[in-house]
Amino acid sequence: MQDELTQDNPEIPDNNDDLYERFSFKTDKGQEPLRIDKFLMNRIEGATRNKLQQAINAGMVLVNGKDVRPNYKVKALDEIIVYSDMSPEEMEIVPEKIPLNIVYEDDALMLINKPPGMVVHPGSGNYSGTLLNGVAGYLKEKDPSFREESLPRFGLVHRIDKNTSGLLVLAKTEKAMRHLAKQFFDHTIRRQYIALVWGDMPHDEGTIVAHVGRHMRLRKLFEAYPGGEHGKEAITHYKVKERFGYVTLVECILETGRTHQIRVHMKYTGHPLFNDDFYGGDKIVKGTVYAKYKQFVDNCFAVCPRQALHAKTLGFIHPDTGKEVFFDTPLPDDMEQLIARWRKYVSTTGNRQ
């Protein structure tokens, strides 16, 4: 018997910064009774029984709109929704004492302002010193009995790049994790990024629509696919905040959360992020390469030695109160200095292209 799969692609994708994907199934009218974890293991690539049971216990699996227990047996015409953990690998998180900039915390969640250069979670080549190592150490110091099994990945439901600074929300309870994961999936989270991009943006505001997926040859990179034949749908709204001739300061609002989305979309428009070494922003893209200008740009690269991108705001419905909350962070010092240099350069040279 073949049940109906209404998710676009049954494979777990690897291009989400939002770490949960929703899978929707409707069983055939001839479906034989079968434990739900066994049923789902046969239909979601990469799923393990342990992870599925954790998801079921956390309320991330709904049958006919209701939570079920791990021993539930699916039957004919069941409608099943799975909010699936999108982490690319199992991670062993060793608690470490790492300074964290916690901007807000209550019993349900915590907001952290991540500095540039910090990896969010352990993975290949980064087994310690990550934000989650610090969160694990922090939570265990507050409550020595805390175990990761009670909250997978210490509440991580989304991530930002190593060299991007800004706000991350982490859940501290299973209820909060489930609630936030659904908001990220449903694109109801309000996220504003500030970026400095190469070139003079032709419009004061606009929307970039192009699928984002892994590069066909260079697997560490992502690419924009405007035809939608590859990757996942990605939508970025932007608005110009300030113009400096050769570069533009923009505000970006994410409607979707794909890996490297803003970086890829800006490259796609011909305006890569300033000093983005992955996507061509770490060289002079706009402006005549003469000695003084080149020296000025090199000095700017030294001041902000990473892509000029900051996750400035985050708004969502609080899992416990049901009320909308909104958080804002100032730009980090390296981006403030970078913007000040471009502002001064324009004012002294009068060169706006």
Lowest mean pLDDT among 15-19, 108-112, 275-279, 347-351: 15-19
pLDDT at 166 over 60: yes
Q: Which residues contact 42 (CB under 8 A, 6 or more apart)?
A: none
State the pLDDT at residue 52: 84
Name the nearest CA neighbour of 199 among 306, 293, 286, 279: 286
First vs last Cα of the chain: how many Å apart? 65
pLDDT at 4 over 50: no
CB 239 within 8 A of CB 204: yes
The secondary structure element, H or E, covering residue 180 is helix 174-185
* Beta pairing class for 61-63 and 109-114: unpaired
User: Which part of the chain is CATH 3.30.2350.10?
Assistant: 102-185, 190-202+240-251+263-349
State the pLDDT at residue 13: 38
User: Which part of the chain is CATH 3.10.290.10?
Assistant: 4-85
CB 106 within 8 A of CB 41: no
Q: List beta partners, residue 239.
A: 205, 251
CB 137 within 8 A of CB 97: yes
> Which of 61 and 104 is assigned the larger pLDDT?
104
- DSSP class of 50: H
Give the three-class secondary structure for 299: helix
* DSSP notation for 194-236: EEEEES--SSSEEEEE-EEEE-SS-TTSEEEETTSSSSB--EE
pLDDT at 193 over 90: yes
Q: Which residues contact 58 (CB under 8 A, 6 or more apart)?
A: 152, 174, 177, 178
State the pLDDT at residue 20: 62
Catalytic residue ranges: 161
Phi, psi (degrees; rounded to nearest 5) at 323: -100, 150
Measured CA to CA, the distance from residue 11 to residue 70 in angstroms comes to: 23
**In the Cβ-directed half-sphere of 149, how many Cα atoms lie within 13 Å?**
3
Cα 282 to Cα 325, 329, 333: the distances in Å are 36, 26, 19
> Which of 245 and 274 is assigned the larger pLDDT?
274
pLDDT band at 248; cut points 50, 70, 90: very high
pLDDT at 198 over 90: yes
Of all residues in the chain, the percent with pLDDT exceeding 70 is 88
> Which of 246 and 43 is assigned the larger pLDDT?
246
Provide the CATH number for the domain formed by 190-202+240-251+263-349 in this structure. 3.30.2350.10
pLDDT at 23 over 90: no
Its pTM surpasses 0.85: no
Phi, psi (degrees; rounded to nearest 5) at 343: -65, -45
pLDDT band at 165; cut points 50, 70, 90: very high
pLDDT at 49 over 70: yes
Per CATH, the architecture of 102-185 is what? Answer: 2-Layer Sandwich (3.30)
pLDDT band at 313; cut points 50, 70, 90: very high
pLDDT at 327 over 80: yes
- Fold entry, domain 4-85: 3.10.290
Q: Cβ atoms within 10 A of the Cβ of 353, count?
A: 11
Number of H helices, E strands in the chain: 7, 18
